[in-house]
Structure 1
Amino acid sequence: MAIVKMKKLRVMAMAAQRDALLRELLRLGCVEISEPAGKLSDPAWAALLRRDASQLAQTKNEQGEAGAALAALKRYGGTKDGLFIQRRAVSETEFLSDETLESSRAVSGKINGYLQEISRLQGEENRLLSRKAGLEPWVPLDMPLELGGTEHAVFRLGVFPGAADTAAIRAELADAAAELYEISADKQQRCCLLAAHRAEEEKALEILRPHGFSVTVFQGVTGTAAQNVQALDGALAENRKQRQEAEAAIAALAPERDRLRLYADRLSAEAAEDLNTERLLTDGTIVFFEGWAPAENLAEVQALLDAKGCAWEAEDPAEEDIPDVPVRLKNNWFTKPLNMVTEMYSLPAYNNVDPNPLMAPFFILFYGIMMADMGYGILMFLAGTIVSKKYRPKGTMGHMMGLLQLCGVSTFFWGALTGGFFGDFLTQVVKLTTGGDFALPALFTPLNDTLMILVGAMALGMVQIVTGMAVSFIRKLKAGQVLDAVFEEVTWWIVFIGIGLMAAGVTNLVLYAGLALIVIGPLVTGQGFGKIMGIFGSLYNHVTGYFGDILSYARLMALMLAGSVIAQVFNTLGAIPGNILIFLVISLAGNALNFALNLLGCYVHDLRLQCLEYFGKFYEDGGKPFRPLAMETKYVDITK
């Protein structure tokens, strides 16, 4: 297993062949077209070529409409996605069919038309409700709202703050030819009608103004408030009817969900094609691009480019190209699920090593040690297998299910060694049902052999650390860094062996030789005063580093012990009442909680051991993921 070797491509084709070439590259799915930023910054290139144009904005808009249509079917049509998407298989011909595209676009347009109508009706409903809310306080007033007065009298509608004392205000109006009538009141406002002689209107308003009186005018409204509210209720009922009809029309299109899902995936492919179109350089007659392709796929790429009449060349990346070379990891069924861990941390640099084969045995082994329960292992394996078979997830979710299966096997194995099946579940069941004693056979148990497990955990940690050092040693030798390899890795291997021999009482000479190399190393590789400081720095950094890392592996014992104890505590609590049904309820609930906590906790601690203690010895990250122009789908599986 290794990092896939890449070839740097330079391709030139006739502009008329652009769309057909990109479509075939999309189907091939193994060529990444690079951004031409460097070329455009060169005046010589900028004078000749420019970026090509595409319909990416329109495609993105159609993607948004397709997503809105699917969301509408979920909301109004009762379609459910579930935790995992059920992929269906479609042929490549159907996926790329223009007829399928147009019919799906029509369905999406129809649903989005209904959504626009629903949105318009919702806005109209809000407007009607706002008008109704403004009229409702005036319903008790049996007077047309447009009536402003008579020949000698004037009528003014207005509101006071809710705390206003209308009785006192009415008394103040005694000096004016006016009367104040309270129509309705609540905590926020008091709605009133002012009736005054036309000659006394200004005087009455001057009296009311200090009390916060604000005149209310209903523009374009005729009839009483009650009549208008009744009309608005009718309009609201009609509005809701039309909305229900639009929602029902969307619900009736629920059977078209699979067509829309295919359409959404097709648009994703179209967007990828349009995005790569904008990476091409053109003068209107020819198109040019640079990119990357796996060396193992070069024959397919060559056949395609030759068939399209392209001028092209492929070469190995130069040393200065290394930071820009995209990285693809080539793994088998055992190591591929670890892509999830590697991608979460960071891909390796192109000239580094693939960490998955080096990490997979340790990650899976350590996870099983920390979880160590046959029942939990069975659940993990079944969950991973069922989801993988039924839903065929891809990407991170697919890797997660594969990793869950492998870690489930490891968990079951270590559970068999420690005699754990949901803790001591079977022991308690037998005791409650028959009164007898029963225990699964165990090679060792977390509670009785804690010290042995601790020593074993640190020994496994030592093995992993030495493995990381060995990888670093080999890489340094290949790079010609012989002295660094000797004084960094070999020196400390001798120290480790010397400590072991001294502890066994065999000899101290090997340890002394290792200590001598610690002193010699900085003297040989350092310069000036740095030679002396290098001795102390090397000693301090390596002692605290290596031995601190080894102590970190004590977490293997700690999590094994914690998981076992928590499971047994819940089983014991469930067994106290002496009723098998109560026991099952408490035990299953407690084990479910313990399982969920350990499922995440063991992953986090295992990840820490790999990324900090292990990767720190040899790993160089910073790789760019290989993102070829390809048909990446979310809802369907394409069969050729």
Structure 2
Amino acid sequence: MAIENMSRFQLYIFDKDRKPLLKRLQKFADVHFVDVRRNAKDDDVLPAPDVSLEWQQNNEVISKVQWMLQLLEPYKEKPGMIQGLKEGLPQASLEQLYDLQESYPWEELYQYLQSAHQTGEDKKNQIANRKQEMEELQPVRATDIPLEALGEHRMTITQWGTIQSKQLEAFEEQTKDEPYLVLEKIAEDGQTLYWQASFLKEDRHRQEDLLRKAGFQPMQVQGEGTPADRIRVLEEEIRQLENDREEARNRIKSKLKELPELHAYFEALQNRKLRLETQGKFGQTAYTTSIEGYVPTVEIDRFKKAVEDVSGQAYVADFTDAERDNAEVPIRLKNNSLVSPFESLTEMYAMPHYNEIDPTPLFAPFYWLFFGMMGADIGYGIILLAITFVALKFFNLTEGMRRFVKFFFYLSFAVIGWGVIYGSFLGGLVAMPALIDMNKDFMVMLILSVALGLVHLFFAMAIKAYMSVRDGNPMDAFYDVGLWYMALVGAILWLLGSFLPLPAIVGKIAMVVMIIGMVGIVLFGARDSESIVGRLVGGLYELYGISSYIGDFVSYTRLMALGLSSAFIGYAANLIVGMLFQAGIIGYILGFVVFLGFHFFNVFLTMLSGYVHTARLTYVEFFGKFYEGGGVPFKKFVHP
């Protein structure tokens, strides 16, 4: 249960083996590459292999395949959520992906889908144009003036157009003195008036300018027959275009059977992209390639075997233990099956450096304990247990999702356990014996919460002391942890003496220990300062940090508060349901719905609150005492 030991390697191969070796190492997967030029001087820099053209071509294919997937996916019949979880995502081996990459006829499929899609889009645009024309003609549908009468004739021009009713008076005023302008209102639609305007062809520009200034907006109409005739023609054309568009959609649907292979091909291209981009970290000479990186120490023999499968004995490899203080060493956590589900919390915060310790097995028991205190209901724990058990047993989950579900599966036992301690079952629905009565023992719960918080904080400080001793700095452990233990324990016992009947000698000893600890913090808290004044001022500032511990202790009262809030929400739901049950059969139905709705919502809210607030106690109070983080995650050489 620790950070996995890493070994740094330097590998030299013939350049002809570079591409096949990368394929073989993708099957191996457990290798993390670094740039060979990261520490090189300018005159020692080896150029990277030039794969820019391949990378560009591969990206172009990726874009086209991605477009095809986006085109086909909406036509796919979506399984129900439960069925989808059972089926999971399609999986293909790297060997299958490599074969598919070489043989899949993607170009033929792309041309077919592009043609069908373009046809559908063309029909869609034609339908939209005809619908717009129909919309413009609808208000004048009743007129019997043929559309052939519009447009240019031998001596005249006839147009249809609109004006707004509020402009009518001004329109008539501006056009009344035009002897060669004939106006006729042909329809009305709300505030829009439809007019026909006829004028001499030779006077076109003046009349069109006059009409425009008067608010006349010409309509663009075409076709034969009356507006009603034209609308019927458009309706028939739209029906035909819809049929054509549906045929184009059916052509696309006919290729749905290609989706599984298309997804696999897309995955193959992404893996090829990874191989191409990784080569940017290599160094190349005329005949050889230089590669550097890290492998887990236990995997060195398998790594050598992978190289030999491609290069035989024609390679040079040098392996050294990774330097403890090197920030570039990639981090992979290695924990047993009980602890590994908690690794996601460490990863979400920050991976440790190689010279740190893996905090996961250290915080996991506390996280389990605190989450259970915040949930603390037998019924809610059983619900969480049942849901996660079914998901783990029957659903085809990804590795990450399985780990996340297993995380809550383990936590469900803590919720049940604290439910037994508090005697809570679905908010008091069933009376249970309790070791701690949530309705009475508030002070006990408060003291318990703060006491557990004290243990949590002191354990984190002990980890810091251990790391100092491990690194050969035992005095740092005393100055940074031991003196704080003295100050805090002394202060706590001294204060307790005011409330509890402790012997007077205990209070005196506690006060002396507290003073010694505080003086030590002032003297040694800023021991790296170069001046005495700086050391004392820095020490006083360090001692002022004791106030933060008060806030830390108060933070742990949320263990009690969230446990109580969950229980009281459940209790309130039960009261409401009890009142509804008194209203007869309708009340029973509504009560059952309210019972399920309230309690499932409370389960969700309780688990979410427990997850967030326990993570907060871990990240702020626990990690803040010893953990730095910021390590580089180990990246497997395979597309996720």
Interval containing the TM-score (normalised by the shorter chain): 0.7 to 0.9
Question: Which stretch of structure 1 is more off in the superposition, 485-494 or 498-507?
Answer: 498-507
Instruction: Work out the CA distance in 2 between the residues paired with 1:171 and 1:26.
Output: 81
**Superposition TM-score, scaled by structure 1 size:** 0.86
1:478 Cα deviation (Å)?
A: 2.5
1:372 Cα deviation (Å)?
A: 0.6
The one-letter code matched in structure 2 to 1:52 is V
1:185 Cα deviation (Å)?
A: 3.9
Instruction: Work out the CA distance in 1 between the residues paired with 2:254 and 2:202.
Output: 66
- Residue equivalent to 1:360: 364
Contact between 2:522 and 2:540, CA under 8 Å: does it hold in 1?
no
- Which of 570, 575, 598 matches 1:572? 575
1:530 matches 2:522? no
Task: Please give the per-residue CA displacement for 1:23-52, whole angstroms capped at 9, x wherever unaligned.
Answer: 101100111222456378835425x55543
- Residue equivalent to 1:630: 638
The one-letter code matched in structure 1 to 2:353 is A
- Residue equivalent to 2:321: 316
Contact between 1:158 and 1:191, CA under 8 Å: does it hold in 2?
yes
Question: Which stretch of structure 1 is more off in the superposition, 528-537 or 543-552?
Answer: 528-537
Instruction: Work out the CA distance in 1 between the residues paired with 2:34 and 2:224.
Output: 69
Instruction: Work out the CA distance in 2 between the residues paired with 1:52 and 1:283.
Output: 15
1:560 Cα deviation (Å)?
A: 0.9
1:572 Cα deviation (Å)?
A: 1.6
- Residue equivalent to 1:287: 289
- Residue equivalent to 1:556: 559
- Residue equivalent to 1:329: 333
- Write the mapping of 1:291-302 to structure 2, written as runs, cut at 5 A: 291-302=293-304
1:375 Cα deviation (Å)?
A: 1.2
Instruction: Work out the CA distance in 2 between the residues paired with 1:566 and 1:607.
Output: 23
Instruction: Work out the CA distance in 1 between the residues paired with 2:225 and 2:624.
Output: 83
Tell me the SS of whatever aligns to 1:352. Answer: coil
- Residue equivalent to 1:485: 477
1:196 matches 2:199? yes
Question: Which stretch of structure 1 is more off in the superposition, 17-26 or 545-554?
Answer: 545-554
Residue 75 to residue 29, structure 1, CA distance change in 2 (3 Å): same
Residue 416 to residue 213, structure 1, CA distance change in 2 (3 Å): same
Residue 124 to residue 60, structure 1, CA distance change in 2 (3 Å): farther
Tell me the SS of whatever aligns to 1:312. Answer: strand
Contact between 2:150 and 2:160, CA under 8 Å: does it hold in 1?
no
Q: Which residues of structure 1 form unaligned runs of 5+? A: 427-438, 633-640
Tell me the SS of whatever aligns to 2:352. Answer: coil
- Write the mapping of 1:146-185 to structure 2, written as runs, cut at 5 A: 148-165=151-168, 169=172, 172-173=175-176, 175-185=178-188
Residue 242 to residue 347, structure 1, CA distance change in 2 (3 Å): same
Residue 66 to residue 335, structure 1, CA distance change in 2 (3 Å): farther
Tell me the SS of whatever aligns to 1:303. Answer: helix
**Superposition TM-score, scaled by structure 2 size:** 0.86
Instruction: Work out the CA distance in 2 between the residues paired with 1:202 and 1:581.
Output: 77
Instruction: Work out the CA distance in 2 between the residues paired with 1:514 and 1:594.
Output: 45
- Residue equivalent to 1:430: none
Contact between 1:468 and 1:614, CA under 8 Å: does it hold in 2?
yes
The percentage of counterpart residues that share the same residue type is 23
Cα RMSD, aligned residues only = 3.2
1:462 matches 2:454? yes
1:353 Cα deviation (Å)?
A: 0.9
- Write the mapping of 1:254-403 to structure 2, written as runs, cut at 5 A: 254-283=256-285, 285-307=287-309, 308=311, 309-318=314-323, 322-403=326-407
Tell me the SS of whatever aligns to 2:176. Answer: helix
- Which of 490, 494, 505 matches 1:498? 490
Instruction: Work out the CA distance in 2 between the residues paired with 1:449 and 1:26.
Output: 59
Contact between 1:34 and 1:291, CA under 8 Å: does it hold in 2?
yes
Residue 87 to residue 178, structure 1, CA distance change in 2 (3 Å): closer
Task: Please give the per-residue CA displacement for 1:187-213, whole angstroms capped at 9, x wherever unaligned.
Answer: 575443222345665665565343123
Contact between 1:33 and 1:276, CA under 8 Å: does it hold in 2?
yes
Contact between 1:73 and 1:79, CA under 8 Å: does it hold in 2?
no
Contact between 1:94 and 1:100, CA under 8 Å: does it hold in 2?
no
Residue 561 to residue 627, structure 1, CA distance change in 2 (3 Å): same
Instruction: Work out the CA distance in 2 between the residues paired with 1:135 and 1:37.
Output: 71
- How many aligned residue pairs are there? 616
1:610 matches 2:602? no
Question: Which stretch of structure 1 is more off in the superposition, 172-181 or 160-169?
Answer: 160-169
1:443 matches 2:435? yes
Contact between 1:164 and 1:190, CA under 8 Å: does it hold in 2?
no
Instruction: Work out the CA distance in 2 between the residues paired with 1:585 and 1:149.
Output: 72
Residue 486 to residue 511, structure 1, CA distance change in 2 (3 Å): farther
Residue 509 to residue 69, structure 1, CA distance change in 2 (3 Å): same
Q: Which residues of structure 2 form unaligned runs of 5+? A: 583-587
- Residue equivalent to 2:585: none
Residue 295 to residue 105, structure 1, CA distance change in 2 (3 Å): farther
Instruction: Work out the CA distance in 2 between the residues paired with 1:310 and 1:188.
Output: 86
Contact between 2:187 and 2:195, CA under 8 Å: does it hold in 1?
yes
- Which of 597, 601, 606 matches 2:609? 601
Contact between 2:457 and 2:625, CA under 8 Å: does it hold in 1?
yes
Tell me the SS of whatever aligns to 2:145. Answer: coil
1:31 matches 2:31? yes
Instruction: Work out the CA distance in 1 between the residues paired with 2:114 and 2:80.
Output: 20
